[in-house]
Protein backbone atom coordinates (compact mmCIF):
# COMPACT_ATOMS: atom_id res chain seq x y z
CA UNK A 1 0.00 0.00 0.00
CA UNK A 2 1.47 3.35 -1.00
CA UNK A 3 1.76 6.05 1.63
CA UNK A 4 -0.14 9.23 0.96
CA UNK A 5 0.12 12.66 2.58
CA UNK A 6 -0.23 16.30 1.68
CA UNK A 7 0.80 15.49 -1.87
CA UNK A 8 4.11 16.06 -3.57
CA UNK A 9 5.67 19.48 -3.10
CA UNK A 10 8.71 21.15 -4.64
CA UNK A 11 11.27 23.44 -3.00
CA UNK A 12 12.56 26.61 -4.66
CA UNK A 13 15.55 24.55 -5.85
CA UNK A 14 13.23 21.96 -7.41
CA UNK A 15 13.58 19.15 -4.85
CA UNK A 16 10.38 17.12 -4.59
CA UNK A 17 9.14 16.02 -1.16
CA UNK A 18 6.11 14.72 0.73
CA UNK A 19 4.97 15.52 4.27
CA UNK A 20 3.07 12.65 5.88
CA UNK A 21 1.59 12.07 9.33
CA UNK A 22 1.35 13.97 12.61
CA UNK A 23 3.72 14.13 15.56
CA UNK A 24 7.46 14.41 16.07
CA UNK A 25 9.29 15.65 12.93
CA UNK A 26 11.44 13.09 11.12
CA UNK A 27 13.39 13.44 7.86
CA UNK A 28 13.69 10.18 5.88
CA UNK A 29 16.64 9.89 3.47
CA UNK A 30 16.58 7.06 0.94
CA UNK A 31 19.37 5.03 -0.62
CA UNK A 32 21.14 5.00 -3.98
CA UNK A 33 19.12 4.23 -7.14
CA UNK A 34 15.76 4.25 -5.32
CA UNK A 35 13.39 7.04 -4.21
CA UNK A 36 11.57 8.27 -1.13
CA UNK A 37 8.89 5.69 -1.90
CA UNK A 38 11.16 3.06 -0.33
CA UNK A 39 9.93 4.34 3.04
CA UNK A 40 6.22 3.77 2.31
CA UNK A 41 5.93 0.57 4.40
CA UNK A 42 7.54 2.32 7.38
CA UNK A 43 5.48 5.47 6.91
CA UNK A 44 2.25 3.48 7.10
CA UNK A 45 3.23 2.20 10.55
CA UNK A 46 4.42 5.56 11.92
CA UNK A 47 2.09 8.15 10.38
CA UNK A 48 -0.01 8.46 13.53
CA UNK A 49 3.05 9.26 15.68
CA UNK A 50 5.48 11.17 13.47
CA UNK A 51 5.34 13.99 10.94
CA UNK A 52 7.60 12.65 8.22
CA UNK A 53 9.43 14.65 5.57
CA UNK A 54 10.23 12.39 2.61
CA UNK A 55 12.22 13.91 -0.28
CA UNK A 56 13.53 12.38 -3.47
CA UNK A 57 17.22 13.22 -3.30
CA UNK A 58 18.75 15.33 -6.07
CA UNK A 59 19.19 13.21 -9.19
CA UNK A 60 16.81 10.51 -7.94
CA UNK A 61 13.20 9.84 -8.88
CA UNK A 62 11.24 13.07 -9.20
CA UNK A 63 14.53 14.97 -8.83
CA UNK A 64 16.15 13.21 -11.77
CA UNK A 65 15.97 16.31 -13.96
CA UNK A 66 17.93 18.49 -11.52
CA UNK A 67 21.58 19.34 -12.20
CA UNK A 68 24.39 18.07 -9.99
CA UNK A 69 26.43 17.79 -7.94
CA UNK A 70 25.13 14.40 -6.83
CA UNK A 71 27.88 13.50 -4.37
CA UNK A 72 27.14 13.28 -0.64
CA UNK A 73 28.08 16.89 0.21
CA UNK A 74 25.91 18.06 -2.69
CA UNK A 75 22.92 15.99 -1.56
CA UNK A 76 23.34 17.13 2.05
CA UNK A 77 23.55 20.77 0.94
CA UNK A 78 19.92 20.55 -0.23
CA UNK A 79 18.63 19.50 3.18
CA UNK A 80 18.48 22.87 5.05
CA UNK A 81 16.24 24.37 2.37
CA UNK A 82 14.05 21.25 2.23
CA UNK A 83 13.61 21.30 6.01
CA UNK A 84 12.82 25.03 6.10
CA UNK A 85 10.56 25.18 3.05
CA UNK A 86 8.59 22.14 4.23
CA UNK A 87 7.81 24.05 7.42
CA UNK A 88 10.11 22.13 9.77
CA UNK A 89 12.71 23.56 12.15
CA UNK A 90 14.71 20.78 13.80
CA UNK A 91 14.26 17.14 12.81
CA UNK A 92 15.26 13.64 13.71
CA UNK A 93 16.94 12.08 10.66
CA UNK A 94 16.68 8.47 9.53
CA UNK A 95 19.19 7.78 6.77
CA UNK A 96 19.06 4.40 5.05
CA UNK A 97 22.05 2.97 3.13
CA UNK A 98 23.45 5.84 1.00
CA UNK A 99 20.92 8.12 2.70
CA UNK A 100 22.81 7.38 5.91
CA UNK A 101 25.91 8.98 4.42
CA UNK A 102 23.85 12.08 3.61
CA UNK A 103 22.47 12.04 7.17
CA UNK A 104 25.98 11.93 8.64
CA UNK A 105 27.09 14.83 6.45
CA UNK A 106 24.08 16.90 7.51
CA UNK A 107 24.60 16.17 11.22
CA UNK A 108 28.26 17.13 10.89
CA UNK A 109 27.71 20.35 8.96
CA UNK A 110 24.39 21.50 10.44
CA UNK A 111 24.00 19.97 13.91
CA UNK A 112 21.54 22.74 14.75
CA UNK A 113 19.02 21.12 12.39
CA UNK A 114 19.35 17.52 13.64
CA UNK A 115 17.85 16.49 16.98
CA UNK A 116 18.87 12.84 16.69
CA UNK A 117 20.39 10.55 14.12
CA UNK A 118 19.29 7.06 13.04
CA UNK A 119 21.72 5.37 10.65
CA UNK A 120 20.30 2.21 9.06
CA UNK A 121 22.25 -0.28 6.92
CA UNK A 122 24.87 2.35 6.16
CA UNK A 123 28.58 3.11 6.34
CA UNK A 124 31.30 5.63 7.08
CA UNK A 125 33.41 4.43 4.12
CA UNK A 126 31.78 2.09 1.63
CA UNK A 127 34.90 0.72 -0.07
CA UNK A 128 36.95 -0.32 2.94
CA UNK A 129 37.82 -3.81 1.66
CA UNK A 130 39.14 -5.28 -1.59
CA UNK A 131 35.80 -6.99 -2.20
CA UNK A 132 33.93 -3.72 -1.73
CA UNK A 133 36.23 -1.89 -4.14
CA UNK A 134 35.64 -4.60 -6.74
CA UNK A 135 31.87 -4.42 -6.20
CA UNK A 136 31.95 -0.64 -6.60
CA UNK A 137 33.90 -0.99 -9.86
CA UNK A 138 31.34 -3.49 -11.14
CA UNK A 139 28.49 -1.13 -10.25
CA UNK A 140 30.17 1.75 -12.06
CA UNK A 141 30.72 -0.43 -15.13
CA UNK A 142 27.10 -1.58 -15.11
CA UNK A 143 25.87 2.01 -14.88
CA UNK A 144 28.02 2.88 -17.88
CA UNK A 145 26.44 0.08 -19.91
CA UNK A 146 22.87 -0.25 -18.65
CA UNK A 147 20.00 1.95 -17.50
CA UNK A 148 18.94 1.56 -13.84
CA UNK A 149 15.77 -0.22 -14.98
CA UNK A 150 17.86 -2.89 -16.73
CA UNK A 151 20.19 -3.24 -13.73
CA UNK A 152 17.17 -3.78 -11.49
CA UNK A 153 15.92 -6.60 -13.70
CA UNK A 154 19.36 -8.23 -13.80
CA UNK A 155 19.92 -8.01 -10.05
CA UNK A 156 16.53 -9.36 -9.09
CA UNK A 157 16.64 -12.13 -11.67
CA UNK A 158 20.02 -13.26 -10.31
CA UNK A 159 18.89 -13.18 -6.66
CA UNK A 160 15.40 -14.66 -6.99
CA UNK A 161 14.54 -17.22 -4.34
CA UNK A 162 12.18 -20.17 -4.34
CA UNK A 163 9.49 -18.06 -2.66
CA UNK A 164 9.14 -15.97 -5.81
CA UNK A 165 10.88 -12.81 -4.55
CA UNK A 166 14.56 -11.83 -4.35
CA UNK A 167 16.60 -11.37 -1.18
CA UNK A 168 13.70 -12.03 1.18
CA UNK A 169 11.20 -9.78 -0.59
CA UNK A 170 7.76 -10.81 -1.74
CA UNK A 171 7.06 -10.68 -5.46
CA UNK A 172 5.06 -7.47 -5.00
CA UNK A 173 7.84 -5.83 -2.98
CA UNK A 174 10.40 -6.80 -5.60
CA UNK A 175 8.23 -5.37 -8.35
CA UNK A 176 7.84 -2.10 -6.42
CA UNK A 177 11.60 -1.83 -5.87
CA UNK A 178 12.30 -2.48 -9.56
CA UNK A 179 9.86 0.32 -10.42
CA UNK A 180 11.72 2.68 -8.09
CA UNK A 181 15.03 1.83 -9.73
CA UNK A 182 13.48 2.35 -13.16
CA UNK A 183 12.44 5.89 -12.12
CA UNK A 184 16.11 6.94 -12.09
CA UNK A 185 18.33 8.15 -14.93
CA UNK A 186 21.72 6.75 -15.86
CA UNK A 187 23.76 9.97 -15.77
CA UNK A 188 22.81 11.14 -12.27
CA UNK A 189 23.10 7.57 -10.95
CA UNK A 190 26.67 7.25 -12.27
CA UNK A 191 27.58 10.51 -10.55
CA UNK A 192 25.83 9.49 -7.33
CA UNK A 193 27.65 6.14 -7.39
CA UNK A 194 30.97 7.98 -7.69
CA UNK A 195 29.91 9.95 -4.63
CA UNK A 196 29.30 6.67 -2.80
CA UNK A 197 32.90 5.65 -3.50
CA UNK A 198 34.47 8.96 -2.46
CA UNK A 199 32.47 9.52 0.74
CA UNK A 200 34.50 8.95 3.91
CA UNK A 201 33.26 10.24 7.25
CA UNK A 202 35.87 8.42 9.35
CA UNK A 203 38.08 11.51 9.85
CA UNK A 204 35.23 13.45 11.48
CA UNK A 205 32.89 10.83 12.97
CA UNK A 206 34.19 11.73 16.42
CA UNK A 207 32.96 15.29 15.96
CA UNK A 208 29.30 14.23 15.71
CA UNK A 209 27.59 15.04 18.99
CA UNK A 210 24.01 14.31 17.93
CA UNK A 211 22.42 11.38 19.84
CA UNK A 212 22.81 8.47 17.42
CA UNK A 213 21.52 4.94 17.00
CA UNK A 214 23.21 2.68 14.46
CA UNK A 215 20.87 0.06 12.97
CA UNK A 216 22.07 -2.96 11.05
CA UNK A 217 20.82 -6.20 9.60
CA UNK A 218 22.66 -9.12 11.15
CA UNK A 219 22.70 -10.85 7.73
CA UNK A 220 23.46 -7.76 5.61
CA UNK A 221 26.00 -8.64 2.91
CA UNK A 222 25.62 -5.40 0.94
CA UNK A 223 26.79 -3.35 3.95
CA UNK A 224 28.50 -5.94 6.18
CA UNK A 225 28.92 -5.88 9.95
CA UNK A 226 32.27 -4.05 9.98
CA UNK A 227 30.50 -0.88 8.75
CA UNK A 228 28.08 -1.08 11.68
CA UNK A 229 31.04 -1.46 14.04
CA UNK A 230 32.91 1.49 12.51
CA UNK A 231 29.95 3.84 12.99
CA UNK A 232 29.19 2.54 16.46
CA UNK A 233 32.78 2.94 17.60
CA UNK A 234 33.37 6.24 15.85
CA UNK A 235 30.38 8.35 16.95
CA UNK A 236 30.61 9.34 20.64
CA UNK A 237 27.78 7.84 22.68
CA UNK A 238 26.23 5.97 19.74
CA UNK A 239 24.13 2.91 20.54
CA UNK A 240 23.70 -0.05 18.22
CA UNK A 241 20.73 -2.19 17.26
CA UNK A 242 21.24 -5.30 15.15
CA UNK A 243 18.08 -6.79 13.66
CA UNK A 244 18.40 -10.57 13.72
CA UNK A 245 17.54 -12.39 10.51
CA UNK A 246 17.57 -9.17 8.47
CA UNK A 247 19.69 -8.25 5.48
CA UNK A 248 20.05 -5.01 3.56
CA UNK A 249 16.34 -5.10 2.72
CA UNK A 250 15.24 -4.96 6.36
CA UNK A 251 13.03 -1.92 5.72
CA UNK A 252 10.75 -4.29 3.77
CA UNK A 253 11.37 -7.61 5.52
CA UNK A 254 11.52 -6.31 9.12
CA UNK A 255 9.46 -3.12 8.92
CA UNK A 256 7.84 -3.55 12.33
CA UNK A 257 11.21 -4.04 14.01
CA UNK A 258 12.55 -0.88 12.37
CA UNK A 259 9.43 1.08 13.38
CA UNK A 260 9.92 -0.09 16.97
CA UNK A 261 13.51 1.17 16.96
CA UNK A 262 12.36 4.56 15.64
CA UNK A 263 9.78 4.80 18.44
CA UNK A 264 12.29 3.75 21.10
CA UNK A 265 14.73 6.46 20.05
CA UNK A 266 12.46 9.51 20.26
Q: Which has the closest alpha carbon to 220: 181, 258, 175, 176?
A: 258
pLDDT in tens, the chain (266 residues): 344 455 568 999 999 999 999 999 999 999 999 999 999 999 999 999 999 999 999 999 888 889 999 999 999 999 999 999 999 999 999 999 999 999 999 999 999 999 999 999 999 999 999 999 999 999 888 888 877 777 776 766 545 543 334 467 888 888 888 888 888 888 899 999 999 999 999 999 999 999 999 999 999 999 999 999 999 999 999 999 999 999 999 999 999 999 999 999 88
Give the pairing of strands 16-20 and 50-55.
antiparallel
Domain 8-132+200-264 annotated CATH 3.40.50.1820: yes
Give the integer Cα–Cα distance in Å for 199 and 101.
8
pLDDT of residue 162: 39
pLDDT of residue 4: 43
Are 99 and 60 in contact, with CB atoms under 8 Å apart? no
pLDDT of residue 92: 98
Give the pairing of strands 24-29 and 91-96.
parallel
pLDDT of residue 176: 84
Which residues fall within 8 angstroms of residue 138, CB to CB, at 6 or more apart? Answer: none
Task: Tell me if residue 4 falls in helix, strand or coil.
Answer: coil
pLDDT of residue 160: 52
pLDDT of residue 164: 39
Give the integer Cα–Cα distance in Å for 117 and 261.
12
Q: Which has the closest alpha carbon to 44: 251, 261, 266?
A: 251
Amino acid sequence: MAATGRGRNRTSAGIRFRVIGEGEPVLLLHGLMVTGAMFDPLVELLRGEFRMLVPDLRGHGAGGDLPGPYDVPGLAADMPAIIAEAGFERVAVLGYSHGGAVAQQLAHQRPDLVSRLMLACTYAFNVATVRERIEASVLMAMLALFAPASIGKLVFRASKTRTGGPVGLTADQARSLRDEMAANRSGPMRAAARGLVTFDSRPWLGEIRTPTVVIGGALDTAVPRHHFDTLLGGIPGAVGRLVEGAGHTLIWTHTRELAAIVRENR
